[in-house]
A and B are shown apart, each in its own frame.
Chain A
Amino acid sequence: MVFVSLLLGSNPISPAAVFEGLAHPDRDVGSVVWGSRVPRTVLGLLVGFCLGVAGAVMQGQTRNPLADPGILGVSAGASLAVVVGVYVLGTSSMFTTLWLALGGAAVASIVVFSVAALGRGLSSPVPLAIAGTAVSALLVAFTSYLVLSDETTLAAYRIWVVGSLSGRTLSGVDAALLFAGAGIVFAIANTRSLNALALGTELASGLGVNLLRARLVGLAAITLLTASAVAITGPIGFVGLTAPHVARAAIGGDHRWLLPASGLIGSCVLLVCDVVGRLIGGNAEVPVGVVLTVLGGVVFIAIVRRTRMAAL
């Protein structure tokens, strides 16, 4: 996929030329390859990995097949925080964006999970999905209010909110990488508890899992991973939904393998969608967030249709 992503774009370049460009960064072709295709591919890999792992942790924690950072309002929380940042502080640098996205994502995920847990429990999809929808709606309302009252914020926001890999550079990514790395560490630390949680909360605590700690570690992983992804590309939905399902179908439910597999599949999904967006849009490419929302929505519907309602 990395190669395909390097090879394809709105400027057709032959494979030979791409390798030539990779080898000689100083030539014309090299500047296209190094200047735009390479960063884009690297970011795609990173963001896809983060979202895939976040989705897997989320679905494991909630035992809910429809959990996804986008559906559950985590991305909306990060978006609102970022918009507040642009509006109040006037900055959109990667570093502040990261911290803001982190705060917003944390608040939103805590609210959504507690609402659903207060109701019928985390594992029934309808309350969880509706809680996510309601919290998202609320956050989006505040976001729209800020955006509508200030045109410069709108200009920055509307480009960012669709979720795109184009025009994103590698500058400032080191900070995001740090956050993502921390998130992955939390996720790895969470794998044993996730495997136990798959048997149900009672059995899990019987097996010696400290439920509160497991939940907190999982929450930290989800928040860190989602926030770093959102800070880089803007909110991209449905990677976190799709990747774990594909991974589970391929290798089964053991979280020690499921998490890395979901991450890698997430990377692949994101790169494929990015390439598709570049190709179908012609000169004006379709942002990857849009491609993913459309494809992912279809996957979501397919999952709902396949699952028996008694099981939901």
Chain B
Amino acid sequence: MPNICLKLANKAENVLLVRQALSGLAEVILLDPVELNDLNTAVTEACNNVVLHAYDGAEGPLEVEIHACPPALRVVVRDYGGGIKPRVQNAENAPGGIGLPVIRALAHRAEFVDLDPGPGTEVRMEFSTAAPPTLEEPATELLFEFPPAGSHEPAETMVLAIAPSSLARSVLPRVLSGLAARAHFSTDRIAEAQLLADTLITRTDGSLGASHLSVDVGVAPRVLGLRLGPLHAGSAGELLGEDGDGRDLCGMLDRLADAYEVAPAGSSEVLALQLAARR
């Protein structure tokens, strides 16, 4: 099961978010900078292929899965379009055409697989690393399906699922900084959003109803909407309740978030919050 799943739109600016996730990962598993550079370059090429070629100029999903248990790192970049057939021949004349040779050169192993049933393509890459195996593989894959966002349908959304929480604490704040920058947050406000995310990951860790923490982020001009889950039914209320340490979390949310609520989601619940850019 992957440690990190990202579901994004195949937009050029989203590739930055994938790299932020990889940097966060590198920090946790102590990847050396040369290894990270290889990983970054190859994964960027695979993502750029999806951005440029998978949907023939239309928009579609870009999915990235990262299995992060050294000595092997595996990354899958997936699309559901008809494009990105390997175009190695004649590529010297095609802009972007050196992506696949680059992937082949930098990854220890690389496969280009047509999805069955299609349409779609997976680029499966494996990287060897000298980093010590510090992460355990998550037991189950549970990509949580968030219910529709409701009244404020944001301009754009992305979903992340991360396990374990030590990894989430490094990856989510980085990805958030990329999204907050896009939503025109000031640097101070970005730091606050990161602090809040870190606290929420820590505090909800014991209440997660799945191996992965799933986070759905909606980006609108000057606003980020965050939903975290799935939490055991009733646990979010407990976290925010008056008793025990919960009061602290409430105080922090009052100060740093612009709105928050516990929302039911199937048999579990999610914590939803809004962060405005402020000044």
Q: Do A and B come from one complex?
A: no
